[in-house]
Amino acid sequence: MKNIKGPAIFLAQFLGDEPPYDNLKSICKWASSLGFVGVQIPTWDTRVFDLEKAAASKEYSEEIKGTVESCGLEITELSTHLQGQLVAVHPAYDAMFDSFAPNALRGKPKERTAWAVNQLKLAAKASRNLGLTAHATFSGALMWHTFYPWPQRPAGLVQDGFSELAKRWLPILNAFDKNGIDLCYEIHPGEDLHDGITFERFWEATGKHSRANMLYDPSHFVLQQLDYLQYIDHYHEFIKMFHVKDAEFNPTGKSGVYGGYQDWINRPGRFRSVGDGQVDFRSIFSKLAQYNYDGWAVLEWECCLKHPEQGAKEGAERIKEYMIRVTDKAFDDFASTGKDPKLNKKILGI
């Protein structure tokens, strides 16, 4: 069995314009002071990372690695969640997702998509230059507005949707394969890849591409009322990344899974800081250890109640509690009788 690495932290929700969150060096020092040993870097935030330079320059990539390592940390993975979202955007969401793209591309969906595809290809090269093995992203969505089957979907709509999604992602997946990186889709509501079945359909549409993998985040499954432990049994071979994020689901007589258009604090399903929700992390860490997951356990903080600084501090401590140092011996070795072929035959009656 293999050991999970961590604790690490996704920097996206912590970056800001005030110290220590305003540049890579200072935020890494802050993360290290809390007990984290790895950082996951968002590639869209130029306060900490220049994606084009990292893809083009091994020297720049070494500088980034050196900055992180000088703080006693490692880079776990890069993230292109925002750019990945723009690979596939239904026109109904154009205005809401335009802010994910550079100003010059807003209102230009075709140019925006081409930019997003190029960003992912740059991320593949940057990941290779940094010596990484996995990358985090979103799939985007062409079919999300049809997730509830009313009005009735026309025949072939879903198949056509996954075919188009795969067509857009195949050149990107091939670029990641060329660079030796696993592309891990965060399975997430709002994306066409939001549960196990949708991932399977996409994977089939790509010709079962070997680089199409998963970022596992149990919080999104609590909100969908999906069995997040059995999910690991089904898909452990695809899970190459892990976000440690908590959630709770408390339905009422007024609102359930769909949330009633309420703000996060009033929704029955809401994200919580690690340890404050309903996710059974001890069982998750046990299952991942059982299936030899040797990637990182990365804290993603999203909570409508607790301050991010408290969530980060407690998150580092709790991940350390959940992590399992896997055993290299069987617990009943003390009673072993050793290997004796003659004795075995006698016991078997042969």
At residue 66, the pLDDT reads: 98
pLDDT at 84: 98
Mean pLDDT, residues 20-36 taken together = 98
77 with 136: CB under 8 angstroms? yes
Provide the pLDDT for residue 147. 96
Q: Is 213 helix (H, G, I), strand (E, B) or coil?
A: strand
Instruction: Give the separation between CA 270 and CA 94, rounded to whole angstroms.
Output: 26
Residue 335 has pLDDT above 80, yes or no: no
**For position 329, what pLDDT does the model report?**
80
For residue 249, the cross-strand partners are 269
Q: Are 186 and 160 in contact (CB under 8 A)?
A: no
In whole angstroms, how far apart are CA 21 and each of 72, 222, 283?
A: 17, 30, 33
Task: Give the model's confidence band at 3: pLDDT under 50 very low, under 70 low, under 90 confident, else very high.
Answer: very high
Q: What is the per-residue pLDDT for 78?
A: 98
Helix (H, G, I), strand (E, B) or coil at 225: coil
**Average pLDDT for 121-143:** 98
**Residue 331 in this model has a pLDDT that exceeds 80:** no
- Please calculate the CA angle 113-298-142 and round it to the nearest 5 degrees: 25
pLDDT for the residue 309? 97
What is the Cα–Cα distance from 321 to 172, expressed in whole angstroms? 37
Nearest partner of 76 among 175, 228, 221, 184, judged by Cα: 184
Token pair belonging to 68: 């992180």
Distances (CA, A) of 224 to 114, 190, 287: 32, 12, 20
Q: Does domain 5-348 have CATH number 3.30.460.80?
A: no
Question: In whole angstroms, what is the distance from residue 350 CA to residue 345 CA?
Answer: 5
> Residues 6 or more apart from 243 whose CB is under 8 A from it?
10, 186, 215, 216, 217, 219, 298, 299, 300
pLDDT score of 43 more than 80:
yes
Structure tokens at 276: 């404050």
Pairing of strands 5-10, 239-244: unpaired
Distance (Å) of CA 237 to CA 8, 57, 211, 214, 241: 22, 33, 12, 9, 11
For residue 26, pLDDT over 80 is answered with: yes
Share of the chain above pLDDT 90, in %: 95
Residue 327: band (very low, low, confident or very high) from pLDDT cuts 50, 70, 90: confident
| Exposure on the CB side of residue 274, measured as CA atoms within 13 A | 29
Q: What is the DSSP letter of 197?
A: H
Residue 173: which pLDDT band, with cuts at 50, 70 and 90?
Answer: very high
Task: Give yes or no for residue 278 having a pLDDT over 90.
Answer: yes
Q: Is the pLDDT of residue 338 over 90?
A: no
* pLDDT at site 328: 83
85 touches 140 (CB < 8 A):
yes
Supply the pLDDT for residue 126: 98
Domain ranges in the chain are: 5-348
- Nearest alpha carbon to residue 116 among 163, 54, 169: 169
Closest CA to 297 of 279, 328, 322: 322
User: Do the Cβ atoms of 76 and 40 come closer than 8 Å?
Assistant: yes
Write out pLDDT tens, residues 217-274: 999 999 999 999 999 999 999 999 999 999 999 999 999 999 999 999 999 999 999 9
Q: What is the pLDDT of residue 332?
A: 74
pLDDT at 348: 93
Residue 86, both tokens = 């723009």
Instruction: Say how many C-beta atoms besides its own lie within 10 A of residue 255's C-beta.
Output: 16
Asked if residue 277 lies in contact with residue 314, where contact means CB atoms within 8 angstroms, the answer is: no
List own/partner pairs for 343-346 with CB under 8 A and 24 or more apart: none
The encoded tokens of residue 346 equal 């006698």
pLDDT for res 336? 79
Tokens 């991942």 label which residue?
Answer: 288
pLDDT of residue 281: 98
Contacts of 197 (CB under 8 A, 6+ apart): none
CA–CA gap between residue 38 and residue 31 (Å, rounded): 8
Name the token pair of 305: 């109640």
Whole-angstrom Cα distance, residue 318 to residue 312?
A: 10
Q: Dump pLDDT digits (tens) for 56-110.
A: 999 999 999 999 999 999 999 999 999 999 999 999 999 999 999 999 999 999 9
Q: Return mean pLDDT, the chain.
A: 97
